[in-house]
Amino acid sequence: MDGAISISAVQWLCNADKSSHEPRLRLKAFFGSLYRCLARGARAVLQFYADNVKQTEMLVSFAMKAGFAGGVVIDWPHSSKAKKSYLVLTCGTSSIASLPKGKGEDGEMCSSDDDDDGDESNDDQTVGTYGRNRSNKRQKVNKKNGRGKDWLLRKKEQMRKRGRDVPADTKYTGRKRKTRF
C-alpha cells in the first residue's frame, strides 16, 4: 500500500484491561504488520489521544523498532480539549525533513519558541523526530538463536523448581550436534 490512515484507534493498543493483556506485544505486532504492508517510501498517519507522555514514547519507540522513520506532530498543544497528536511515519527511507507542522490555538502554525517577537521560528511542534537506529543486538540474538548450553541448563533448573521430572545433567547436555543429524 502507498499509505495508511488511522483515527483514534492506536491508543487502544496501549490499554491493559486484564493482567493477561500485553500492550507491548500488541504494538510490536501492529507496527511489524504495518511495516510489511506498506511500500518503501509510503506514509502512515496515526491520530491518537495518549493518556500520558509514556504512552506516546511507547508508540514512537515500537514504530522505530519496526523500521519506520518519523515523529509526533501535535496540533493545538496548549489546549486541553482540542489537542490532537499524530504519529507521522515514513516506511523505509527517512524523509523526516517533510514532517508537517502542528497548528496553534488560533489555527496558525506552531512555533518552537513561545516568544512573540516575530522571528521566522516556524519549526514543527513535535515530541520527537527519530530516524531508524537498529542496534546489532537483534542480529546477535538471531545468530545464536538464544539457545545454547547455558540456556538449556537454566531451563532445566527452572523445570526442576516447578516439580517436573527432568533428565540429569551429563557431559552431553546441550552439546552441539553434527549437521547430518
- Which residues have C-beta within 8 Å of that of residue 96, sequence separation ≥ 6? 69, 70, 71, 90, 129, 130, 131
pLDDT digits (tens, 9 = 90+) for 69-92: 888 998 888 887 888 899 999 987
Instruction: Output the pLDDT for position 109.
Output: 57
Instruction: Output the pLDDT for position 135.
Output: 52
Instruction: Output the pLDDT for position 119.
Output: 43
pLDDT band at 46 (very low <50, low <70, confident <90, very high): very high
SS3 68: strand
Please report, for the chain, the start and end positions of each structural domain, with discontinuous segments joined by +: 3-91
pLDDT band at 123 (very low <50, low <70, confident <90, very high): very low
Q: Report the pLDDT averaged over residues 50-79.
A: 88
Higher pLDDT pick, 102 / 123? 102
In whole angstroms, give the CA distance from residue 97 to residue 126.
12
Q: Which CATH superfamily is domain 3-91 in?
A: Vaccinia Virus protein VP39 (3.40.50.150)
pLDDT digits (tens, 9 = 90+) for 135-145: 554 444 444 56
- Cβ neighbours around 12 below 10 Å, total: 10
Q: Dihedrals φ, ψ of 48, to 5°? A: -150, 165
In whole angstroms, give the CA distance from residue 61 to residue 120.
31
In this predicted structure, the answer to whether residue 15 has a pLDDT above a threshold of 90 is no
The predicted model scores a pTM of 0.55
Across all residues in the chain, what is the average pLDDT?
Answer: 77
Torsion over CA: 10, 15, 19, 23 (sign): positive
In whole angstroms, give the CA distance from residue 61 to residue 96.
16
In whole angstroms, give the CA distance from residue 54 to residue 41.
28
Instruction: Output the pLDDT for position 32.
Output: 92
Residue 32 buriedness (CB in 10 A; 0-12 / 13-18 / 19+): middle
Instruction: Output the pLDDT for position 21.
Output: 84
pLDDT band at 98 (very low <50, low <70, confident <90, very high): low
Instruction: Output the pLDDT for position 176.
Output: 79
